[in-house]
A and B are shown apart, each in its own frame.
Chain A
Amino acid sequence: MLRDITIGQYYPAKSVIHQLDPRVKLMATLIYIISLFSFQGIVGFLLVTAFLILIIRLSKVPFSYMVKGLRAIVILMLITALFNLFLTPGEDVLLQIWKLTITMEGVKNAVFMMVRLVYLIVGTSVMTLTTTPNQLTDGLEKSLMPLRKIHVPVHAIAMMMSIALRFIPILIEETDIIMKAQMARGADFENGNLIKRAKSMVPLLVPLFISAFRRADDLAMAMEARCYVGGEGRTRMKPLSYDKRDYTAYLVLVMFLVLVILARIIL
């Protein structure tokens, strides 16, 4: 049951998208999100859709993997849609029930908002599915390097991020084992009212926290034993470097952004 969580889940495959430099993918995600919230009208929508389909095709990740992430935001999507539907003022009133009115603009807004949210999740999950957590933090660290000039601890942040990501599957597995160990002693995590269920969490959380602290302690010790002193003077085993395909990808991205903006201005 706990294995269904997809945060930071990497799908191994050999594709152009997988081989791209993580910095390109981070930039691409940024550009994609900007275009997602700036496009207007049907042409912009078609452009973004075409881009998304192209990326999904190239990534060779089964489509079902990307849709998985949507389940988590169904409620958010519904609320957003409802608010847009009922609270958008407009001329063209379609329906009026008591104080709530549904306008043509409201329907349009609701539909576009839904599309944007779905595209946002699917699009960003392409990045996490094709990039290992390590690559991702490496890319982030290198992209944010200029911020060091204003004393942002870029390396520490990136290291914390990669450790946190690394620990997600470990802690999930640990939770699974602890749950089983307590269920073997007759613990029941599923039935009962809210208070009873909250109480039943104690036998799960206490061992989990103890083990998390122990692991953190061990890891700190192991890192120090290997002379880790932070980012100063640290070199990489696999330094990031741009390839020809990365420049091509940047070119495609810029073209995509220009097209979306043009579509918005002209049409």
Chain B
Amino acid sequence: MSIILDKVNYVYSTGTAYEIQALKDINLTIEDGQFIGIIGHTGSGKSTLIQHLNGLVKATSGAIYFNGQDIYDEDYNMKELRTKVGLVFQYPEHQLFETTIFDDVCFGPKNQGLNKNEAGLRAFEALKSVGLPEALYYQSPFDLSGGQKRRVAIAGVLAMKPEVLILDEPTAGLDPKGRDEILDLIAKMHKEKNMTIILVSHSMEDVAKYVDRIIVMNDGQVMYDGLPREVFRHYKELEAVGLAAPQVTYLMHELQEKGIPVDMDATTVEEAKNSILKVMQSNS
């Protein structure tokens, strides 16, 4: 059970003056249960890449296999793929349309062909798991705050019970508190439901704490793919393409240069603290 991308290429506006190659020879394997962060600056092709994973965008060349089946086969059920690979878009404003939050979350399950009761049950479950207060269920989604709208948007996709959940910049435009809440929520879902989660972001800080694999996109290509600490070792190269490693990476490197033997692979504040404490304890 996995998603495999084999030499995927994608070209925008083929044959016109505005032709752009958004993806170049992408080869990836996404295993079940992984928590992956896709990172890249604006225009690096990360959004285009994730839209391939549920068939919204068709590759110009190359193949994509979901659970061993070629999704470009003529008789492949695209609609089913889209319910199995749930994609939450960046701005919740792009999908909220119903008069109440509850009805809006019901939209996905209803499209799956479930009846009103089943859809309602799914919606209830999904809204509960994103932690939205019950008092809000029958309010208009347009009256919510940015963070709450985002929760509703995530619930709208969760209600379809996807196996893979992709989130495109779920923290964009949120304040630090809202950002932490959303990321904690996603991490909790990963742990409790053992879902495959793909988190798209341009902030290393955001993803370093949560994910167990980072894919760095640059100029339509995969630049690095590996464990966070492996990727962050290239912090100088990342900087050259307009990305930055988490601040602790810089701190640890500087401490190392000053002759303090800390663990340079620490990627979170917690790990860094432990490593520094260890060095200090062994010194005293």
Contact = CB atoms under 8 A, between A and B. Distances in A.
Interface residues of A, number: 23
Contacts of A185: 82, 95, 107-108, 111, 156-157, 160
B112 interface: yes
B175 to A, nearest CB: 20
Contacts of B72: none
B17 A12 contact: yes
A213 to B, nearest CB: 11
Most buried by A among B51, B86, B95: B95
Contacts of B107: 182, 185-187, 203
Interface string B70-105: 000000000100110011110001111100000000
A144 to B, nearest CB: 31
A95 B161 CA distance: 67
A57 interface: no
Nearest to B110: A186
Contacts of A211: 93-94
Nearest to A214: B93
Contact of B79 (A12, A181, A186, A207): A186
Q: Dominant SS at the A interface?
A: helix
Given A3-B13, A177-B89, A203-B107, A182 B95 contact: yes
Nearest to A61: B17
Contact of B95 (A178, A202, A214): A178
B65 interface: no
B56 interface: yes
B54 interface: yes
Interface in A46-63: none
Interface of A: 3, 11-13, 174, 177-178, 180-188, 202-203, 206-207, 210-211, 214
15 contacts: A3-B13, A13-B17, A177-B94, A181-B89, A181-B94, A182-B95, A183-B56, A184-B54, A184-B88, A185-B160, A186-B108, A186-B160, A206-B97, A207-B95, A210-B93
